[in-house]
Amino acid sequence: PKRIADRTSSDITEDSMGRTIMILFGPPGAGKGTHAPKIVEAHKFPQLSTGDMLRAAVAAGTEVGKKAKAIMEAGGLVTDEIVVGIIKEATAAKECEKGFILDGFPRTQEQATILDQMLKESGEEVGSVICLEVPDSVLTERICGRWIHKESGRSYHVKFAPPKSLKPGETANAENMKDDETGQPLMQRGDDTEEALVKRLEGYHAQTVPILDHYAPRGIVSKCNADQEMDKVWAEIEAAIKK
């Protein structure tokens, strides 16, 4: 058998348990929350959020979870190594035997390098990096028009999915934005304002571009135009997964 260093990416794909390891990127409002569940449903492997995995590891009292808990209780930031350790634990589960989607990790080039090292230990590597792309101006309209019903999580949009209480031509406010089912007032998230969004997008671009550059030489990065009809976005995602 070839040593890992001598193997091509196709070799690794074939003999490393055949898992599909995918990273999903997209700025706030790009539609990750819409398309990730469709990938999960179509391909039968889970979407793993680092926040959810961290909370689960702490709750389960795993070895890595205990380390993370001690750091958090002391007011510190969980290290990249601990986060990767939590991902390693989580991806050993049976539900990940076909593969998994990482959402929210890596956020920096250093994290990408540590993740690569962890996967290399089992002869694996990231096989697909999908980036949903939408112009910032479009995201501003999408996000700053969002209102939610806090209790149910139902989401509305001033332009694209207004509640019945908002009459044509009216400007949205707390008085005329009401939940269709309960009639209760809707609310906007604090980070759905234009000022907050500018900072979120600056942070996203600053973090993401270096990571895409990190994986680009392998030919595994696919940029999907998420500023089009949903079925066309999905077709681009499907094509990227099969690449």
Catalytic residue numbers, as ranges:
32, 107, 146, 189, 200
Q: Which residues of 68-101 are buried (b: 16+ CB within 10 A; e: fewer)?
A: bbeeeeeeeebebebbbbbbebbbeeeebeebbb
As beta bridge partners, residue 128 has 22
User: Distance between CA 23 and CA 48 in Å, rounded?
Assistant: 10
Q: The tokens of 93 are what?
A: 């589960």
In whole angstroms, give the CA distance from residue 235 to residue 238: 5
Measure the CA angle with vertex 75, ends 70 and 81; round to 5°: 55
Neighbours of 18 (CB within 10 A): 11
Exposure string for 38-51, b = 16+ CB within 10 A, e = fewer: ebeeeeebbbbbbe
User: ∠ CA(29), CA(22), CA(122), 5° rounding?
Assistant: 150
